[in-house]
Amino acid sequence: MHPLRPTMTVEEALAYFSPGTNGVQAVYSETNEMIGYLTVDSIAIAVHRGELTRPIREFIVTEIPRQSLEPQFRSDEQLHAFFHSPLCKIVFNSLYDGVYITDGAGITLFINQAYQRITGLNADEVMGKHMSQLTKQGIISVSASLETIRTKRPVTLIQTIRNERKIIVSATPIFSDAHEILYVISCVRDITELIRLKHELDSQRLWHQGMQTDVPQPDQEGLEKVVLGPATRPIFTLADKVAKTEAKILLQGETGVGKSMIAKYIHARSARNGEIFMELNCATIPSHLVESELFGYEPGAFTGALKQGKVGILESAHRGTLFLDEIGDLPLDVQVKLLKVVEENQFMRVGSTQLRHVDVRIITATHRDLAARVREGLFREDLYYRLNIVTFEVPPLRERREEIVPLLETYLAKFNEKYNENKVMTLECYEWLTNYNWPGNIRELANLIERLVVTTYHDTIDVGDLPAILQQVLPSTEPASLKEAVAKVERSLITKALQKHGTTRGAAAALGISQSAIVQKMKKLQMRVENESF
C-alpha cells in the first residue's frame, strides 16, 4: 500500500487501519517527508463526527499517544466482532451521511438510518441481498461495492436509486491480514440537487460568454446551430477575419471536430458567398480515381470513362470554394497538379493537353500531422507551404468539455424536432456524457443523440439507455503517488512529442532535453523505443 498523504480523505485512510496494522500510521508529504501521524483514535473521532470526506491533514498529530502504539485489531475475528457489534450500529447510525456495508462477497450486512433517509430504501429491501441482485431488480443502477471487490481499490461512482434519486457512492475495502477483502464500507451522499445546479450554472455561464462575443452567429449564415465555447470562439473569430481574404487555410484536427463546418463558415462569410461550396474527401475515393474526380477527364481518357468525358469538382467549384478534406491522403502525382492550380489557377483535365483556367478558393483539412508527412516524403513541401498560410488547430471535444452539455442540448432539441419527439435527458446522463472521452468528437455525439431519440421507448433518456461502452464504471483513476503522477505526465508528453515530431531527436528537442535523455526516460517508463525514427 502507498504511504498516507495529508490530502487523502478519512474514508480513504480507513483501509490503512486493517487488522494486524498498528493503531498509528505515519503520514508523508508529496515530497516524501514524514509530517506526522494518524491514529485510530483520531479516525474514530472523524467517523463519529461524520467527517469521512475531510482530508486527514486535519486529524494529523505530531506525537504518538502511547496507547495508540498498541495494535488495535489483532485478528480478523476482532474486526468481525466490531462489525457485528451494537457499537458499530450506534456509530454509523449517528452519521449524517449514508453508510452501506457489505461483506467481501458483496452481500449487504448493514445500512444506516441516513442511508434510508437519503435513498428511501428500507432495511428489509436490501439486507442479506447480494448487490448484483439489487442491480438486476433495478433498485440501484450500478454497485460501487462490487466494483471495489473486483478492483480491490476504492471506487467512487454515481448511482441511481429506482431510476430517480442520484447519489454519489464512495466504496472503500477493508482488508484482512491476508489482503482479502472482508468488508466494503460505502459512504453515500445525495447529489440530485447538486448536479442540477451545476448543470444549470455551466450552461448559463457558457451561453453568457457566447452572447458577449463579437463573432457573428454562424447560424445566421444558414449553417446548423453552432455551439461556441471558450475554445471554439477564437477559431470562429479568426475564421471570420480570414474569410474576407483569399488566404489559403489549413484546418487540422481529429475526425468529427468541426473542420468542414468551419470551412463552410469561411465560405459563407467570404465574398464568394452565394457561389458554390464543393467538398471532396481525398481519403474516401480510391487513389487512382482522385485525379479524374478532381480535374475531370476528356472523352475516352481511360477504360471505364464516360463517353462524353466529365467535368471535375475543381471546375464545378469555379468562382466558389473547394474544400479538400483529408488532403494528407492526396497521392503525390495529384499533388503536383494541385500545386499548379494553387500557384497559377491552371489545370488540365485527364487525357487533355489543354490548360484551363479556374477561379477557386481552396480550403484544406487533415487529421494527420502534415509536417511529419512532408518529412516522410509523402507530402510535397512546396504544396504544404502554399496551402498552409493560415492554420487552424481544432481541438478534440475532450479538450473542450465545457461545450459538451450545450452540444447535447442543441442536438437533443434538433432531433426532438426532426422526429417529433419530446425527450429529455436525466442529469446523471448529462454528467456521464460530460465525463466520456468522445473519440469520434461532435459527430459521435450527434449520432448518439439521434440514435437515443429514435430508439428509446420512454421520454426520459437515462444512463441505462446508453450503449454498453459508455456505461462502463471506472474505478478511481487518481494516481496513487506523486511518482506515478509524474510518470503519467512524462509518458503523455513524450508520446505527444513523438507523434508530432516523428523521431526521438525531434521530440527531445521540442521537450528541451537531449536525445539520450529521452531514450533513457522512455526505457524507464517502459515505453517502446524501436529506433531513432520511432
Site for ligand ATP in 203-222 (CB under 6 A): none
CA distance 464 to 455: 13
CA distance 38 to 23: 8
Query: Residue from 24, 101, 188, 226 that binds ligand ATP (CB under 6 A)?
Result: 226
Contact 71, 20 (CB under 8 A): yes
CA distance 251 to 243: 13
Residue 515 makes contact with ligand ATP by CB under 6 A: no
Query: Residue from 227, 278, 427, 522 that binds ligand ATP (CB under 6 A)?
Result: 227
**Residue number, 5 or 367, with CB nearest to ligand ATP:** 367
- State the residue number with the nearest CB to ligand ATP: 258
Residue 259 makes contact with ligand ATP by CB under 6 A: yes
Candidates 43-51, 251-259, 451-459, 483-491: pick the segment binding ligand ATP (CB under 6 A): 251-259
CA distance 339 to 33: 62
Q: Which of 183, 184, 187 is nearest to 79 (CA)?
A: 183
Q: Site map for ligand ATP, 358-397, x if CB under 6 A?
A: ---------x------------------------------
Residues 6+ positions from 337 with CB-CB distance below 8 Å: 291, 294, 295, 347, 348
CA distance 469 to 436: 10
Question: E strand or H helix at 194, and its extent?
Answer: helix 192-212
Q: What is the number of alpha carbons within 13 Å of residue 113 lying toward its C-beta?
A: 8
CA distance 394 to 47: 48
Contact 343, 337 (CB under 8 A): no
Residue 258 makes contact with ligand ATP by CB under 6 A: yes
CB of 414 to ligand ATP, least distance (A): 9
Judged by CB under 6 A, the number of residues near ligand ATP is: 19
Residue 94 makes contact with ligand ATP by CB under 6 A: no
**Residue number, 98 or 253, with CB nearest to ligand ATP:** 253
Residue 446 makes contact with ligand ATP by CB under 6 A: yes
Query: Residue from 261, 350, 374, 461 that binds ligand ATP (CB under 6 A)?
Result: 261
Residue 256 makes contact with ligand ATP by CB under 6 A: yes
Pairing mode, strands 277-281 and 321-325? parallel
Question: E strand or H helix at 110, and its extent?
Answer: strand 108-111
CB of 437 to ligand ATP, least distance (A): 16
Residue 260 makes contact with ligand ATP by CB under 6 A: yes
Residue 525 has which C-alpha cell? Answer: 517508463
Candidates 15-23, 95-103, 117-125, 253-261: pick the segment binding ligand ATP (CB under 6 A): 253-261
Candidates 8-16, 108-116, 250-258, 430-438: pick the segment binding ligand ATP (CB under 6 A): 250-258
Angle at 321 between CA 317 and CA 326, to 5 degrees: 100
Residue 322 makes contact with ligand ATP by CB under 6 A: no
Query: Residue from 142, 191, 408, 442 that binds ligand ATP (CB under 6 A)?
Result: 442
**Residue number, 153 or 401, with CB nearest to ligand ATP:** 401
Question: E strand or H helix at 93, and its extent?
Answer: helix 86-93
Q: Identify the three-state secondary structure at position 230.
A: coil
Q: Is the dihedral of CA 412, 415, 417, 419 positive or negative?
A: negative
Residue 224 makes contact with ligand ATP by CB under 6 A: yes
CB of 379 to ligand ATP, least distance (A): 17
Which spans of this chain sit near ligand ATP (rule: CB under 6 A)?
A: 224, 226-227, 232, 253, 255-261, 325, 367, 407, 410, 442-443, 446
